Structure 1
Amino acid sequence: MPRPVPWMSALLYGVVLAGGLHHAAIGPGPDARTAAFTVLLGALAVLDGRGWRIPEGAVFALRAVLLCAVAAVDDSGLSRVLFVLIPFLGYFAFGPAAGIALGAGCVALLVGAFTLWVPDWEMRAEYVSDLLMFALGVVLALVTAAVAVREQQARDRLESTLAQVARLSAAGERNRLAREIHDSLGHHLTAIGIQLEKAEVFAALDPAGSAQAVSHARWSANRALEEVRASVRALGPEAESEPAGLSRTLADLVQHLEGGGRRISLDVSGTERRPLLVLYRAAQEGLTNACRHSGAAEIGLTVRYDDQGARLCVTDDGGGLGGAAEGFGLTGLRERVRLAGGTVDLRSSDRGTVLRVEVPW
């Protein structure tokens, strides 16, 4: 996995290089071992600073060899601190278990080296102190690696969650716009089609009725244009587009859909309260479906307001849905009402259809 703390290795290389050069300066002076020490540290920095296209295990093994070589030519002994990088980097490359095992192995190797080359080291305070400090460094390196990995995982989860939220938000907005287009523009285009069909049928038999149908179609076209312009201006919360005076708006809607052998009655009672737009869209969908599909002669629209909420009902005496599946309009209406906390009930038979919508305050 990518190493979340890339600066740690460079920091340790820099500290060890400065300490080794200082030791050489105050001692016998720089020599070939000092040059080799500097070159090997540079090779380690280059190895850590590039994305090598070789297996991680090979890079790790080469790094371990270079660390051993640095320790071999370092007269100051400071390079021992670099071995904490083996468990630290192993944690990222191979996982927590491997990192801990490598850390324990490094401590064990240092104990073995002291045992082989430093007689009675366990009785000498400086070597015991070095061992304890090295063991503490290994523990701190492993803790740092664990924290870095968990932070990286949390950041990845957050980015994934944000991406998912963005996708869901985009999908929700697309669905909202689709509902608006269907419920607003789609309704008015359907009404225009109905009125123009009426005008065509009655052109010769009833010129006045035909002219009225054309007038109603023109009203629907103007209304559609107004709603499209309002949507383009706002593209905001639905509440901003709520019709002012639902009773008057529904009366206009009924007036321009009525005719052609259909009679539409409107009955509104109670005091108007929000959500007006939800009720208006429900009335649009119910009346449009009744006018277009049912073949009804009598259509009724009632709206009731009380302390609990609003209830809208559209009834007709047409032939019903006839087993047909619900279209996008009804599906969108159910979603719109659900978001408002309400319910939709649709019942249909060969004697007519009843659409009930209830929305709480």
Structure 2
Amino acid sequence: MNRDAPDGWPRGGEWNWLWEAYAVGLAVATIVAVVLLDHRFPGNVVGAAIALSAMAAVVLAFGRRVTRSPDRGWRAVAFVTMVVGLWILAMLASPVSVAAVIATYPVVFSTLPLRTALVVTTIVNLIPLGILLLTHGIEAPNLTMAVAITLIGVVAAPVVGTVITRSMKQRRQLALLVAELAATRAESARLSREAGTAAERERLAREIHDTLAQGFTSIVMLAQAIEPELESDTAAAKRHVELIGATARENLAEARAMVAELTPSPLEEPLPAAIARQCDRLAAETDAAMTVRIDGDLPAQSMSSDVVLLRAAQEAFANIRKHARADAVTVELTPTGTGVRLAVTDNGIGFNGHPEGFGLRGMRARVAQVGGTMTLATAEGGGTRLTVEVPS
């Protein structure tokens, strides 16, 4: 991952009020020094104060705008030239103004490339000594002090400039990291929303398949059975009409519970009672002989585990209705060492290969979500045996 500034990123984009306060504060401090030291280093106090004040004003007016502009070019050169030029004017007015040289360092290093800035600051540091030599020659007073100050500036400027540049680069990298983190968090949130949407769709698909779709299938089968019974067996037809009404009411309750995101309606009663009721419905709809063995000492389970067992029973009964052609079904709900086992066995035609319809895939997914196991095998003597175990 590239941590350098991208194209178009302002190299001085980290210029802030601290640099402005630094430059303006030094200009003000230098004005005070010019006034206080005029008796020792006489000069034009008013001229120096005006030039230093103008330098501070230029920094405040253009510093942030120039250093944050992605396309600087001549603007950067003009800005640096104005600041350095005003400092030179102040120094020509009063030699004490040389103290403001360090105010030019952040201006130069935040505006120009590092190599160019190093050259410019070196020249700036040599200017006071050059002016002294041009005006007074080698016999100039305080020449030794001027040489010492110049050497200090020549050595200090690259160090200060490098620190400024590195600080700006680190701030730039930090800004990039923050931007990347924000983008990553936004992408993570988007993916999380998509995953949540997909999971909710899958959950609703399983709920609809395991409840509403199976209820409608029962209604269709019962309706088909009624037609030949209307003339030959009125009692059976009436019983099937009642089953259609009961199934429709249960489907309506399921739909309302799903819409309201409530507990599935069959589990408004204990799991054994819900399983027994499903067994009664299957017997009434198919006339199959039902054998139900429900242990009376089942361990306490979570609601999610109870839902898995109930949905597994509903799916098994739906397959028996549609495919098995069974006339005998055995349902067992018993405790295990670690949870509860549901076993549904029929004596129907069995299955060939590895059936993997939507219902079975959904059942496997439900069982896996609660850490359970599911097996589908051929029963002894033919038919199918479905076994689901869930932890308590």
Assess same fold via TM > 0.5.
yes
Distance 1:165 1:202 in 2: 54
Counterpart code for 1:69: T
Equivalent position to 1:163, from 190, 193, 202: 190
Question: Residues 46 and 128 of structure 1: is their aligned pair in 2 closer, same or farther, counting only changes over 3 Å?
Answer: closer
Task: Could you tell me which runs of 5 or more consecutive residues in structure 1 were left unpaired when the two chains were aligned.
Answer: 51-55, 88-101
Shift of 1:223: 1.1
In structure 1, the residue matched to 2:383 is: 352
**What is the CA distance between 1:280 and its match in structure 2?**
0.4
Structure 2 contact 23–59 (Cα < 8 Å) conserved: no
2:86 equivalent in structure 1 = 74
Relative distance call for 1:254 and 1:342 in structure 2 (3 A) is: same
1:342: how far off? 0.6
Partner residue, 1:94: none
Q: 2:77 aligns to what?
A: 65
Distance 2:195 2:175 in 1: 30
Aligned equivalent of 1:248, options 273, 277, 287:
273
Instruction: Determine the C-alpha separation between the residues in 1 that align with 2:18 and 2:234.
Output: 96
| Conservation of the 8 A alpha-carbon contact between 1:337 and 1:344 | yes
2:317 to 287, 290, 294: 287
1:248-285 CA-partner distances (Å, limit 9, x unpaired): 21222122222445333322125233221110000000
Matches within 5 A, 1:88-103: 102-103=113-114
In structure 2, the partner of 1:110 is: 121
2:347–2:383: 8 Å Cα contact kept in structure 1?
A: yes
Distance in 2, matches of 1:183 and 1:153, equals 44
Map 1:162-181; keep pairs closer than 5 Å: 162-181=189-208
The aligned counterpart of 1:263 is 289
The 1:16/1:325 distance shift into structure 2, 3 A limit, reads: same
Question: Which deviates more from structure 2 when the two are superposed, residues 71-80 or residues 4-13?
Answer: 4-13
SS in 1 for 2:231: coil
Q: TM-score, normalised by structure 1?
A: 0.77
1:211 to partner: Cα distance: 1.2
Shift of 1:27: 4.0
Residue type of the partner of 1:355?
L
The within-5 A match list for 1:46-65 is 46=65, 59=71, 61=73, 64-65=76-77
The one-letter code sitting in structure 1 at the alignment partner of 2:226 is A
| In structure 2, C-alpha distance between the alignment counterparts of 1:241 and 1:82, rounded to whole Å | 76
Contact 2:375/2:388, CA 8 A, preserved across alignment: yes
Gaps of 5+ in 2: 1-5, 33-44, 88-99, 131-146
**For the residues of structure 2 that align with 1:116 and 1:43, how far apart are their CA atoms?**
24
Find 2:152's aligned residue among 121, 125, 137: 125
Cα distance in 1 between the residues matched to 2:172 and 2:333: 66
Secondary structure of 1:345's counterpart equals strand
CA distance in structure 2 between the aligned counterparts of 1:135 and 1:10, rounded to whole angstroms: 18
Cα deviation for residue 35 of structure 1 reads: 6.9
Aligned to 1:84: 109
- SS, match of residue 354 in structure 1: strand
**SS, match of residue 347 in structure 1:** strand
Alpha-carbon distance change, 115 to 74 in structure 1, aligned in 2, over 3 angstroms: closer
Q: Give runs of aligned pairs for residues 289-308 of structure 1, distance below 5 A.
A: 289-308=319-338
Q: Is 1:335 paired with 2:389?
A: no
Residue 174 (structure 2) pairs with residue 147 (structure 1): yes
TM-score for both structures, normalised by structure 2 = 0.71
CA 1:195/1:118 → structure 2, altered by over 3 Å: closer, same or farther?
Answer: farther
1:175-205 Cα distance to aligned partner (Å, 9 max, x none)? 2122112212122112222222222232222
Letter in 2 for 1:106: A
| 2:288–2:327 Cα contact (<8 Å) kept | yes
Between the two proteins, what is the percent identity of the paired residues?
24
| Bigger mean CA deviation after superposition, 176-185 or 314-323 | 314-323
**Which is greater in Rg?**
2
